[in-house]
Amino acid sequence: NQMTVIAAYEQRTPRSRKHFEEVAQVIPAGATRSLNAWPPHPVYLESGAGMVVTDLDGNTYHDFLANYTALPLGYADPDITRALAEQVASGTVHSFSRTGERELAELLAARVPSVDKIRFTGSGTEAVMFALRLAKAYTRRTAVAKAEGGYHGTTDEVMISVRPAANLAGDAHAPRSVPEMAGIDESRVRETIVVPFNDIESSAAILRAHSDRLAALILEPVLGVGGMIPADREYLAAMREVCDELGIVLVFDEVITLRIAPGGAQEHYGVVPDITTMGKIVGGGMPIGAYGGRADLMALLEPRGGTDVYDARSGGPVLYQGGTFTGNALSIRAGITTMSKLDAAAITDLNAKGELLRRSVTEAVAGTPVALTVTGIGSLFNLHVGVKKVHTFRDLRGIDAARQHQLFIALLNRGAIIAPRGMGCVSTCTTTEDIEFFARAVNESLIDITGE
């Protein structure tokens, strides 16, 4: 019954349609973020409060995507709005460092086990870029390893083997590095080694085979964009051991997972990396990224680097970090407000809601004719259409991509937002009723897309 779902969507969103046709004249695909361009046309949002957003046609939606998990307090949280208004009155970004950075840095260093020292960046992408460069400078090696399906932002070295199904190449135990798009530097493709997520033996063997040139292994403790697939604790622990043995810097990308415990997934799993990258919730809805780690590693950013790679000629830091808008007072203030409100009790509560959502949806879809699996952890979830079991990234090859997209559209018709590929989360303002509504909407949407 695909026509009905798409036709209903078109009927609900004529203004978005018109806007799409006009804006596509000046912005390619009508969207700045490629994910936000989907057929037959995107909806364009006008406003948001709590977890409810309103589109150009006046339709309202419960937004379970919350800007790809960046808004744990929902839209227009009153405390954040007030903090930002106060800050705007004394300037947004300044020539020299502002004192506020200290509070956010101390807060994160106190919470995240691996972080002695931390630097802020403009985005998660930049955090990963600087963290990997730090690992390369520290080890004096050139290559990095990442998991198949791991998403770490958009630089060449990590835009490798990210998307599912069609793109996967090589044996499941020895995946090949596949550039995600044209324009990615071929030499970088050779320097990015791909390991199979949650497969201890194969990952260890691949790391061993390339150990003399591997600076870092970067892992999401839960594959995020790649389907909200939690790592097995044993997998992370094994990767920690192998990295120690081979002198490889272990980086945990906690841009998404920091929200699952006060100290992030590394606290939840009890496995501590050398460097951690962060973003999203750390900026409370404003642009940010951060990377932090052991003092001896972070010392490469100091004028008198604490290791033997200290650059004696210049007397300056081994590594230079720039960014005109980095550490801007708005991101820092919003971040302090958000992270302070997101204390241990709030996170426990958030995780309980996530658990309830995953359980409610799983129960609600039990009798429907389409297989749907709910993955996730804490306040994070992903709906997968057409697959029964999801443990490794390659399990997602079974996804029914056409129906996955129809589910996304059918949910929009019923007033619920998730990512086109099924990612979502709960926020502190999500209620039990919202969760019941969502479970019902998923059930009804599955019926919508299967027809009579």
Residue-level length of the chain: 452
Q: Contacts with ligand PMP: how many residues (CB under 6 A)?
A: 16
- 256 counts as binding ligand PMP under rule CB under 6 A: yes
Give φ, ψ of 149 to 5 degrees.
90, -5
Q: b/e string for 83-96 if b means 16 or more Cβ within 10 A?
A: bbeebeeeeeeeee
- 156 counts as binding ligand PMP under rule CB under 6 A: no
Of residues 283 through 342, those in contact with ligand PMP by CB under 6 A are 289
Token readout for 246 is 């081979």
Pick 123 or 373: Cβ nearer ligand PMP: 123
- 255 counts as binding ligand PMP under rule CB under 6 A: yes
Q: Distance between CA 94 and CA 187 in Å, rounded?
A: 38
Q: C-beta of 281: minimal distance to ligand PMP in Å?
A: 11
- 72 counts as binding ligand PMP under rule CB under 6 A: no
Token readout for 408 is 């996304």
Q: Which residue is nearest to ligand PMP (CB)?
A: 124
Which one of 105, 132, 225, 332 is in contact with ligand PMP (CB under 6 A)?
Answer: 225
Pick 131 or 242: Cβ nearer ligand PMP: 131
Q: C-beta of 151: minimal distance to ligand PMP in Å?
A: 5
Q: Distance between CA 42 and CA 196 in Å, rounded?
A: 33
Q: C-beta of 38: minimal distance to ligand PMP in Å?
A: 17
Q: C-beta of 120: minimal distance to ligand PMP in Å?
A: 12
The answer to whether 24 and 30 are in contact (CB under 8 A) is: yes
One-letter amino acid for residue 332 of the chain: I
Q: C-beta of 93: minimal distance to ligand PMP in Å?
A: 17
H helices, E strands: number in the chain? 15, 18
Pick 128 or 137: Cβ nearer ligand PMP: 128
Token readout for 271 is 């496995």
Pick 206 or 380: Cβ nearer ligand PMP: 380
Pick 126 or 434: Cβ nearer ligand PMP: 126
- 443 counts as binding ligand PMP under rule CB under 6 A: no
Q: C-beta of 209: minimal distance to ligand PMP in Å?
A: 26
- 151 counts as binding ligand PMP under rule CB under 6 A: yes
355, 356, 358, 363: CA torsion to nearest 10? 140
Q: C-beta of 32: minimal distance to ligand PMP in Å?
A: 12
Q: Distance between CA 128 and CA 116 in Å, rounded?
A: 17
Q: Distance between CA 405 and CA 2 in Å, rounded?
A: 10
Pick 16 or 125: Cβ nearer ligand PMP: 125
- 420 counts as binding ligand PMP under rule CB under 6 A: no
Q: C-beta of 132: minimal distance to ligand PMP in Å?
A: 12
Q: Where are the alpha helices (DSSP H) in 247-366?
A: 265-269, 295-298, 329-341, 344-364
Of residues 110 through 129, those in contact with ligand PMP by CB under 6 A are 123-125, 128
Q: Which letter does DSSP use for residue 155 in this model? A: S
Q: C-beta of 257: minimal distance to ligand PMP in Å?
A: 8
The answer to whether 97 and 332 are in contact (CB under 8 A) is: no
Pick 179 or 305: Cβ nearer ligand PMP: 179
Q: Distance between CA 202 and CA 222 in Å, rounded?
A: 18
Q: Is 223 left (phi over 0), alpha (psi -120 to 50) or beta?
A: beta
Pick 253 or 434: Cβ nearer ligand PMP: 253
Q: Which residues pair with 50 in a beta bridge?
A: 75
Q: Are strands 289-293 and 275-279 parallel, antiparallel or unpaired?
A: antiparallel
Which one of 17, 152, 259, 394 is in contact with ligand PMP (CB under 6 A)?
Answer: 152
- Site residues, ligand PMP (CB under 6 A): 68, 123-125, 128, 151-153, 220, 224-225, 253, 255-256, 279, 289
